[in-house]
Amino acid sequence: MALAVVVGLWWTVEPATGRVVQGGLALVAVAAVAMRHRFPLTATVAAVVATAVAWVLGVSADPCLLVGMCLFTVAERRGGAQFPRWSVAAAVVTAASLLTVAPQGLAENIRWLVVAVVVVTASWALGVRTRQVRIEAAARSAAQERLRLARDVHDVLSHSLGVIGVRAGVTAHVGGLPSEELRGTLREIETEARSALGELGGLLDRARRGGWSGRCDDLAGALATMAGELRSCGIVVDADICGTTGAWPPALRTAVEQIAREATTNVIRHSGARRCRITLREAGQQVVLGIVDDGRGIGGRVAGHGITGMRERAALAGGTVDVGEGPGCAVTARLPMVPGRP
């Protein structure tokens, strides 16, 4: 682009001083543009000097386009305000210099000055705006990563600790429990705790490496495991799972698994239910997950992090989650088979 500016706005001007001086100044300006990423301030000063001298000598008609390229990089790296006060002072100094020193007529100088001011001001403003957009994008990315990590940690710890708490509570309140059955329950609690620690360690390791937060390759197996955990907590489970889950997209299977995990955790920890029904089916271009229990429901309580996380995961997959508030709480998730399609 710098070479195109030189060919179009420098080389088309017939210099009175000869092509050598014109070519030397053009070479300085192009070199400044080429080096602007490594030495932005030095490159900008070099471009300003080369362009100003060329204009005074009448060997260029460049309205500071090459200066604008360098100034954009400076603003992108260090810019603060989009329209700083120093720009007004620079415009005044440039105008006074052109109107008194430049060889062209007054009208020609004014036209060139207007274009130059527009180019320089726009270059600076665009550079500052680019810097602001990058900062905002980095902040949004960091916030989304924190939110994703919070959801994943909540899913891992809430479910596992909920199961452990219920099993330990049942064991503690049952009198005369045979020692062998007690040891079996404690072994189950130990296995659940180790599994939770393993999942948490894997999650943190993937977070450090910037990898994906996880994926569910066997959705039917994951739902069967959840049903088994419900049964181990004394809840009668009726499961009706679609048999074609292996053909679904990985992101869809993962979203269904995470929503189901949170819903069953709520059944274990909060519902006081005795029965629970898990259904998973295809309905046209949608997958419908239903988890219904005969517990107390959420009533008038404010939705916690778990319900918020379910809705966020469904929204990321292009779907919705409905949570009933009355007794016999029902969680219904509807997710599209193809992302972006209702």
Q: What is the DSSP string of 305-342?
A: HHHHHHHHHHHHTT-EEEE--SSS-EEEEEEESSTT--
* Nearest Cα residue to 240 out of 196, 194, 210, 281: 281
271: confidence class by pLDDT, cuts 50, 70, 90: confident
How confident is the model at residue 212, as a pLDDT?
A: 47
Q: What is the DSSP string of 128-170?
A: HHHHHHHHHHHHHHHHHHHHHHHHHHHHHHHHHHHHHHHHHHH
The label of the residue with tokens 């900008």 reads: 44
What distance in Å separates the CA atoms of residue 53 and residue 59, rounded to the nearest whole number? 9
Question: pTM, whole model, 2 decimals?
Answer: 0.50
Tokens of 7: 């060919």
pLDDT in tens, 208-220: 665 544 566 788 8
Tell me the mean pLDDT in the region 125-145.
83
Tell me the mean pLDDT in the region 206-235.
75
* Nearest Cα residue to 252 out of 260, 144, 205: 260
Tokens of 67: 């200066």
Q: Which of 87-101, 242-256, 314-328 has the lowest mean pLDDT?
A: 87-101
pLDDT in tens, 62-118: 888 999 999 999 998 888 777 776 666 766 666 666 566 555 556 666 777 778 888
149: confidence class by pLDDT, cuts 50, 70, 90: confident
Tokens of 27: 């070479």
Nearby residues of 231 by Cβ (< 8 Å), 6 or more positions away: 237
Cβ 291 vs Cβ 330: under 8 Å = yes
What residue type is assigned to position 187 of the chain? R
At 215, give phi and psi (nearest 5°): -150, 150
Using a 10 angstrom Cβ sphere, with 0-12 exposed, 13-18 middle and 19 or more buried, the burial of residue 130 is: middle
